[in-house]
Structures are given as C-alpha cells and as structure tokens.
Structure 1
Amino acid sequence: MSGQSILVVDDEKEIADLIEIYLKNDGYNVYKADNGEDALSIVGKYPIHLVILDIMMPGLDGLEVCRRIRMDKNIPIIMLSAKSQDMDKIMGLTTGADDYITKPFNPLELLARVKSQLRRYIYLNPKARIEQRQNADIVQASDITIDKSCHRVYVGDREVNLTPTEFGILLLLASSPNRVFSSEEIFEKVWEERYFESNNTVMVHIRKLREKIEVNPRNPQYIKTVWGVGYKFED
C-alpha cells in the first residue's frame, strides 16, 4: 500500500465507485462521501492526503467544501465538474483547488493527476514528508487502525490487545481489503510454514480475532467468511 489516503466526494455513485477501483488498484486507501457535510467530517477525522471533489452536489457544493478545507489544511484538491467553461475552472481554482478536470474524464488521466499532485505536495511540504514516512507504518481499513511499528490495533478509539499471530492475520487481511485469502495462503504467510490439509489452525485464530474486534462475532462486520474459498477483510 502507498500509505496515502484519498477522499472521493461525488453524489454520483457510479463515478465514485469507478474512481475508487482505479485508486485502490494503484495502492491508495480510499474514503468516499456523497455530500459535503460527510466530506468535511472525514477530512476532520482521518489523515487525508488528497481530495477529489465534485462541484455540483446537493447541500454544500464542492466550492464551499473546498473553502472550508482550505481554512486549516493545504492538502491537494482536484475538482470534478461537468462544466467546461473557463469561468467555472477559474472559480474552482481561485477557491483553493489545485487542479480541475471535466466530466466525462479518462480515469487514467485522473490517476496521473493524482500522482502529480501528491508528488508536488510531498516534495514541497517537509511536514508531509515526515507524515508520509510515519504513515508507511499505519494501515487504515474501515475504522480499524493498525500501527505496524508498535504492534497496536484500534477499533475506532478502542485499543484491542492481539497476540502476534492474531495481529499478523489482521494485518494481512486489512492490507488488501476485499481480497479473499485461502486458509492455506493465510497460514503460509503468517506462520511461514507449509500448510497441511485439514489444518484448522487458521479457523481457530480467526474466531479468536473476531471475538476481539467484532461487535457481534457471529455476524462479523470486518472479517468475512467466503464459503469454500477463505476469508477477506470487508472495507
């Protein structure tokens, strides 16, 4: 994972989902919001490194969201809009956006602009360079935070105590959200030993891990069983 988190703000679910796919495939952590209020809440709560922000939204529009983010943060903001008039671009940029792209757009072009803005932000911002090094040790998946440097895990604001094996399983699954791992793959990556058929070790540790991080272990929110295949962390 890149360790960089990007917030996608768009009330058109299909567009937000498409952008999410491309960003996650490139290793970014992705948060999504479909309105301005939720977007500001996420920026205030999580370490966001870049915002992709649609202008036309109900309630708080993208321009107002941009203004409010700029009150105390200098993270890159890329505006999205169906409008292509020069005046609309000028308004977006003068509000505080760093870049502007019109719909429909090529996702690969958007991805290239994301990389460019992040490179510029980190290169020109010493604090961001420090945060980048620190964030390499942090895995954020849903509301679970994993600190690799000190082997700590938080569910929301609550710290949970995991054994080294439980920590290894959670780190493996959460580092690749929604990817399904077989029991064999989990065992060989975490235990670093050869897996033998009918080995229930992974299942037992998954159960214990769920008891510590899930509200209802019988109906898990985070670690899902994919019957006949394995387990995944659902983000």
Structure 2
Amino acid sequence: MRKKNILICDDEQAIIDVLKLYFDTTLYNIYEANDGEAALRLLKSEPIDLALIDIMMPKINGLQLIQLVKHELSIPLLIISARYTLEDKLKGYEIGADDYITKPFEPLEVLAKVKNRLNVQTRAPQAIIVDDLKLDLYECKLTVGQTVFELTKVEFQVLKLLMESPNRVFTKAQIYTAGWDDYYEEDDNSIRVIMNRLREKIGKDRIQTIRGLGYRLSL
C-alpha cells in the first residue's frame, strides 16, 4: 500500500510543524507550503492525495487556491482557518472545500478527519507469511520461494483462511463460507477443485485432507 501524500499549506510554519508530528511517516508523505503560489505549484506538480489549506496566506489566499484547483483535482480540500464565523464556513463550502476546521484545533481531530477522507487503515498487515509462502493481502498474490502466482478471489480467500491458522483443521463448511461467501450445501466438488489448484501452487503435501473433518495447511 503506497503512502498518502498530504499537502499542508499555512503561512505559520509552527502550525505545519505541529501537524507533522501527528502524521505516521509509514503512512504519509508530508508536503509543505507557506504561501498560495507554492501550494499551487505543488498541487499541479505532485501526486497530492489531500490538502490542508489555511485561508489567510500571502500571494494567493486559501479561498482563491481552492477555486483555482477544485475543478482540476478530484482530491479532498480541507480548510484550516482562524476565521470561525458561520459566514466564513459557508463561504468555504460554497467555493468547494470538503471540510472546515477552525483554529485553534486539536491535531488528533485533524488527523481523524484526514484518515476518514482517505480511508487509511493504520498499520494493517500487508502480508501473511508461513515458511516460504507469502500471501500479499493487497494485491492478492502468492509468492512461493521466488515464484509469484496470481490467485482467483476464491483461491485467495481459502488460502488466507488456511495460512492465518497453520495446522488447524477447517471443516468444509468453514472453507466454503470463507471462499464463496455463501452457505455450505454439500458442494464437495468445488472445494476439491480449489484445493487441487492451491496444491499445484504451494505443493501437494502442504494441504492435507483430514477424512471426515476437512482440510488443514500442514507445516
């Protein structure tokens, strides 16, 4: 999962520095601008995912900046401003801001709003690793040693179930529910086909059939 690029535009460097302390550097790249012209250059030249914009900035103010880029960029634009009247807020929304945060603000609230807009999951696992098997949870790919396999949705979901609990025996009903997102109705043939496909990829002895019970990933 690539990092999200956040632009913080404020003529007060102290505001930028405070906000930067709260952004996890494993999830975000932070771009800075102290005036509207610098912010405009960054928005047009860098793959920004979200911008936090102060209104009272030199050269180009925040409202002008939003008007200039709103129809060119389909990214969230959040105002952070010391202007707090209802009229100020309505003006911000009218020209295209997606949210309006007043100063002084609580940095954790700003972070929560950013995460909500970008739907960022903090420190979610990116892969399941068992011996030389690596299951990429984002690209739905399986790596066995140096070989990479593309997986179907059902293959991915069944293998994920098995790899999350190696050596545990899963019933056919549990496997069918995980793989097909449906209620199990004695569809043994579909399960057998998927298990044979996975055995071809990871090795026939790694997925064991436990007669009368189900299957397990054997270590």
* Range class of TM-score, shorter chain: 0.5 to 0.7
Q: TM-score, normalised by structure 1?
A: 0.49
CA distance in 2, matches of 1:116, 1:91: 23
Does the aligned pair in 1 maintain the 2:3–2:26 contact within 8 Å? no
Deviation at 1:2, TM superposition (A): 5.0
Query: How many residue pairs end up in the alignment?
Result: 122
CA distance in 2, matches of 1:21, 1:44: 26
Deviation at 1:24, TM superposition (A): 3.7
CA distance in 1, matches of 2:26, 2:105: 18
Corresponding residue SS for 1:105: coil
Within 5 Å, which residues of 2 pair with 1:51-200? Answer: 51-119=51-119
Residue in 1 that maps onto 2:184:
none
Q: TM-score, normalised by structure 2?
A: 0.53
CA distance in 2, matches of 1:2, 1:56: 32
Deviation at 1:25, TM superposition (A): 4.6
Within 5 Å, which residues of 2 pair with 1:28-67? Answer: 28-67=28-67
Corresponding residue SS for 1:22: coil
CA distance in 1, matches of 2:62, 2:15: 15
The amino acid that maps onto 2:66 is C
In structure 2, the CA distance between the partners of 1:5 and 1:79, relative to structure 1 (3 Å rule), is: same
Q: Deviations over 1:148-181 (max 9, x none)?
A: xxxxxxxxxxxxxxxxxxxxxxxxxxxxxxxxxx
Within 5 Å, which residues of 2 pair with 1:205-220? Answer: none
Corresponding residue SS for 1:56: coil
Residue in 1 that maps onto 2:11:
11
Deviation at 1:65, TM superposition (A): 0.3
Deviation at 1:13, TM superposition (A): 0.5
Deviation at 1:20, TM superposition (A): 1.5
The amino acid that maps onto 2:29 is N
Deviation at 1:14, TM superposition (A): 0.4
Percent of counterpart pairs with the same letter? Answer: 43
CA distance in 2, matches of 1:2, 1:108: 22
CA distance in 2, matches of 1:111, 1:32: 16
Deviation at 1:71, TM superposition (A): 2.6
CA distance in 2, matches of 1:83, 1:32: 21
Higher share in helix = 1
Does the aligned pair in 1 maintain the 2:3–2:28 contact within 8 Å? yes
Does the aligned pair in 2 maintain the 1:24–1:30 contact within 8 Å? no
Corresponding residue SS for 1:101: strand
Deviation at 1:28, TM superposition (A): 0.7
- Bigger radius of gyration among the two: 2
The amino acid that maps onto 2:41 is S
CA distance in 1, matches of 2:54, 2:111: 16
CA distance in 2, matches of 1:98, 1:45: 21
CA distance in 2, matches of 1:93, 1:26: 31
The amino acid that maps onto 2:97 is A
RMSD: 2.0
Gaps of 5+ in 2: 121-137, 140-219
CA distance in 2, matches of 1:16, 1:27: 17
Corresponding residue SS for 1:23: coil
Gaps of 5+ in 1: 121-132, 135-235
